Amino acid sequence: MPQHPFTPADTLVCRSAIDGSIITTVAAGDMSAAITAASRAFNSWRLVPAPIRGALVHRIGELMREKKDELATAIMRDIGKTRSEALGEVQECIDMADFAVGLSRQLHGLTIASERPGHRLIETWHPLGLVGVITAFNFPLAVWAWNALLALVCGNPVVWKPSEKALPSALALHAVAHQAIKELGHDHALLSVVCGTAEAGAALAADPRVALVSATGSTRMGRQVATAVAARLGRSLLELGGNNAAIVTPSADLDLALRAITFAAVGTAGQRCTTLRRLLVHTSIYAQVVPRLTSIFAAVRVGDPRESGVLIGPLIDHVAVSAMQSALSDACAQGGRVHGGEPLTCCGEGAYVRPALVEIAANAAVVQEEVFAPILYVSAYEDLATAIAANNAVSHGLSSAILTNDLREAEYFLAPNGSDCGIANVNVGTSGAEIGGAFGGDKASGGGREAGSDSWKAYMRRVTSTINGSGALPLAQGVVFDLTAG
């Protein structure tokens, strides 16, 4: 299976992760032309009242509901998610539409007490400008929805550079959004998609006409985007990798914990940025937890994601299988004990693996790196402070969890000296966040926050105004500047 399906003829070959078969070919787009058209669209869209902008997002949401099955099928075929997870991803897009529609009647500023008589201080949020969105293969639709639907209600056009490994589903979603634009008579340049390789993403990041670049992907890619955007003093919103840990304490409900751990570690074949990669288990329950998890990992059904009962589909390609195998051999060399993890033959050229559980020291070198595959490193800990220190010892800071029935342990984990991640859950795994909260992480995870809460502010610019309704001109901080004196 070719890993760089980009041919000199500017054509991208789209393959299914399920069996490596060719789905279609897609022509590469023109990034600069898309940015020019979107910049023009911004001039009028920013003046459309936000609730009217919300009506467009409302229609996009309705159409996504109608086409939920079709869109989920496209996700399954492109990247090999199970039907339930693919449907869940489309639901995440629909949830974002609902959320953005509600926001379109908010986008509220502040009134702040002024120190001067008869004065008022206000903050107003205005549309920011063109938003560039770069998405990864693993959530080919939801991450566009997080960004694009908020950007639209905030008054900004969007240029999307989807992963070249998931183009057909991106194009299917785009067709749905364009149907809504057409029905409501808006400018088609409000939303555009540019298919291309990493070069197209680099062109988007470097273009000074793009006010905000929202990029999801590896930390390496994020560094390149951040550097290019910072060089032109643009704004970036980065959602990068994670090396997420969960702590299982002696009081945990083990049945609940094992289910939470398994979904977080092997769901989506370990290819979420929120995937659980490190498990820290208290020594007193280690001998109970590890054999149970090992047998769950050995029994969970891996295979063609279209078959019912299959919980783990393929990895995106054979490069991912090689990365996984090399991490497992490094783990062995560093004293780890590997259970499972072997490549499996299934469905033509699909890249299937059994999930791996690796018993290893929490500070082993291999444990510090994110590998986008289902490997769960398990280590024992003695006291909670050490486990929290291990949780925080990696370069990433995206998601984390504690499984406990002890209130004090939970509160310690959530305290300022607890988990340093953007997401810190109690009795819930590291993955599968709802859209209502702000999503993102710190350190090498990029620092961005997307989806719910007040993430919309990233897509707007803030104007602070002092309004003087008095007849006098007092200066702030008591400064006297009297032209009649002296």
**Residue 382 a catalytic site member:** no
Least separation, in Å, of the C-beta of 163 and ligand UN1? 11
DSSP assignment, residue 17? T
Strand partners, 356: 340, 375
Rounded CA separation 241/431 (Å): 13
Which window, 136-144, 160-168, 192-200, 278-286, contacts ligand UN1 (CB under 6 A)?
A: 136-144
* Residue 169 contacts ligand UN1 per CB under 6 A: no
* Residue 244 contacts ligand UN1 per CB under 6 A: no
Nearer to ligand UN1, 139 or 352 (CB): 139
Dihedral, CA of residue 219, residue 6, residue 1 and residue 14, to nearest 10: 90
Half-sphere exposure at residue 402, Cβ-oriented, CA atoms within 13 angstroms = 28
Which window, 112-120, 227-235, 270-278, 348-356, contacts ligand UN1 (CB under 6 A)?
A: 270-278
Sheet strands (E) in 172-275: 191-193, 210-216, 235-239, 244-248
**Residue in 99, 139, 297, 377 binding ligand UN1, rule: CB under 6 A:** 139
Please name the amino acid found at residue 198: A
* Residue 16 contacts ligand UN1 per CB under 6 A: no
Question: If binding means CB under 6 A, how many residues of this protein chain bind ligand UN1?
Answer: 11
Least separation, in Å, of the C-beta of 431 and ligand UN1? 4
Q: Rounded to 5 degrees, what angle do the CA atoms 123, 127, 128 make?
A: 100
* Residue 400 contacts ligand UN1 per CB under 6 A: no
Which window, 126-134, 151-159, 194-202, 268-276, contacts ligand UN1 (CB under 6 A)?
A: 268-276
φ, ψ for residue 403 (rounded to 5)? -110, 110
Nearer to ligand UN1, 129 or 140 (CB): 140
Catalytic residue among 195, 273, 347, 421: 273
* Residue 356 contacts ligand UN1 per CB under 6 A: no
φ, ψ for residue 389 (rounded to 5)? -60, -40
**Residue in 272, 282, 396, 449 binding ligand UN1, rule: CB under 6 A:** 272
Count, residues in the chain: 486
Least separation, in Å, of the C-beta of 472 and ligand UN1? 54
Least separation, in Å, of the C-beta of 24 and ligand UN1? 24
Q: Which of 36, 53, 37 is nearest to 189 (CA)?
A: 37
* Residue 243 contacts ligand UN1 per CB under 6 A: no
Which window, 283-291, 402-410, 428-436, 478-486, contacts ligand UN1 (CB under 6 A)?
A: 428-436
Burial class (CB in 10 A: 0-12, 13-18, 19+), 361: middle
Residue at shortest CB range from ligand UN1? 433
φ, ψ for residue 262 (rounded to 5)? -65, -45
Least separation, in Å, of the C-beta of 137 and ligand UN1? 10
Rounded CA separation 381/371 (Å): 23
**Residue in 17, 189, 273, 289 binding ligand UN1, rule: CB under 6 A:** 273
Catalytic residue among 92, 164, 239, 450: 239
How much is the CA Rg of the chain, to the nearest whole Å?
24
Least separation, in Å, of the C-beta of 448 and ligand UN1? 11
**Residue in 314, 432, 440, 452 binding ligand UN1, rule: CB under 6 A:** 432
Q: Confirm if 70 and 169 have CB atoms less than 8 A apart.
A: no
Least separation, in Å, of the C-beta of 83 and ligand UN1? 17
Buried b (16+ CB within 10 A) or exposed e, 160-184: bbbbbbbbbbbbbbbebbbebbeee
Rounded CA separation 329/316 (Å): 21
Q: Confirm if 239 and 218 have CB atoms less than 8 A apart.
A: no
Q: Confirm if 379 and 337 have CB atoms less than 8 A apart.
A: no
**Residue 123 a catalytic site member:** no
* Residue 316 contacts ligand UN1 per CB under 6 A: no
Burial class (CB in 10 A: 0-12, 13-18, 19+), 352: buried
**Residue in 151, 433, 444, 460 binding ligand UN1, rule: CB under 6 A:** 433
* Residue 372 contacts ligand UN1 per CB under 6 A: no
Rounded CA separation 161/135 (Å): 7
Which window, 114-122, 125-133, 250-258, 267-275, contacts ligand UN1 (CB under 6 A)?
A: 267-275
Letters for 55-94 (x = contact with ligand UN1 by CB under 6 A, - = none) are -------------------------------------x--
* Residue 444 contacts ligand UN1 per CB under 6 A: no
Letters for 204-233 (x = contact with ligand UN1 by CB under 6 A, - = none) are ------------x-----------------
Chain positions contacting ligand UN1, by CB under 6 A? 92, 138-139, 143, 216, 272-274, 431-433
Residues recognised as catalytic = 239, 273
